Chains A and B, each alone.
Chain A
């Protein structure tokens, strides 16, 4: 009886150990990374600092983009930026004059698409790595990344697109997610238009009373 209990206990301990190994490995890895960062003089990760950075970045983004674009980013977490080149996003393209646009996500590829049909054209994977790594990371805050893409598209679309790695749709962002985001965007625009249409009538209504 005792032998059976001991054997069972050993099996249970062995199974638990197997299950716990990844957890202990993660802890050890974090500890090593923290020690290395301390040795290199990199300040420890501070969630408060990252939040403040993001807050600052949001304010900067808000001060640069149009009101509609800001509302879009605030509500949907993405920006739609219209393409400005005659043929299409890249040289040699001919979309027959159809307007095209980009969906800009923070720290994700820029997705080019045709708003009339919802057809996805390409993914442009682009980053803005700051190699000075002031806090050990090259990544800009989310809203700064979006603003950098927005300024790049608005200011020099060709240069930005040619700096990016081109991929077919679906390489990094699931096309179903993009389709869902386009649907959300249409709904958002419809609601915004309805609100705008109601606003003057409400104003005139309140003026009559």
Chain B
């Protein structure tokens, strides 16, 4: 599983990578996930349905990430724009 984070002036950046089946790596991923959410990020998992349609699922906890997911994308939380 890879954690990608959108960055200004950079595009996506690989911030963590690990195998969720390996306890130590999973722990590191959980910590990184928590750190990103505490830093104000939103996390989304791109999903492809059985019919081939693509969508995204927002995840709020590490447990909500499907185990087979290849990547989780972090991006800054939405804020109201120009008033």
Q: B80 contacts A163, CB within 8 Å?
A: yes
Size of the chain B interface, CB-CB below 8 angstroms = 29
The minimal Cβ–Cβ distance linking B45 to chain A, given in whole angstroms, is 8
Interface residues of A (CB under 8 A from B): 49-50, 52-57, 60, 63-66, 69, 109, 125-135, 137-141, 144, 147-148, 150-152, 154-156, 159-160, 163-165, 172
Chain A residues with CB under 8 A of B39: 132
Chain B contacts with A in 1-59, Cβ cutoff 8 A: 4, 6-12, 39-40, 42, 44, 46, 53-58
**Known A-B contacts A133-B8, A135-B8, A155-B57; A165 and B78 likewise in contact (beta carbons under 8 Å):** no
Question: Roughly how many angstroms separate A126 CA and B54 CA in the complex, as a whole number?
Answer: 23
Query: Which among B9, B55, B78, B83 is the interface contact of A163 at CB below 8 angstroms?
Result: B78
| SS class, residues of chain B in contact with chain A | strand
B66 located at the interface, meaning its Cβ lies under 8 Å from any Cβ of chain A in the complex: no
Q: Which residue of B lies closest to A127 (CB)?
A: B81
Q: Which residue of B lies closest to A56 (CB)?
A: B11
Q: Which residue of A lies closest to B60 (CB)?
A: A156
**Known A-B contacts A63-B46, A159-B58, A164-B81; A141 and B8 likewise in contact (beta carbons under 8 Å):** yes
Q: A129 contacts B11, CB within 8 Å?
A: no
21 contacts between A and B (CB under 8 A): A49-B9, A49-B10, A53-B7, A53-B9, A56-B11, A56-B12, A57-B12, A60-B11, A64-B46, A126-B81, A127-B78, A130-B7, A141-B6, A147-B75, A148-B76, A151-B46, A151-B58, A152-B42, A152-B44, A159-B78, A164-B78
Question: Which of A65, A137, A144, A172 has the largest count of B CB atoms less than 10 A from its CB?
Answer: A144
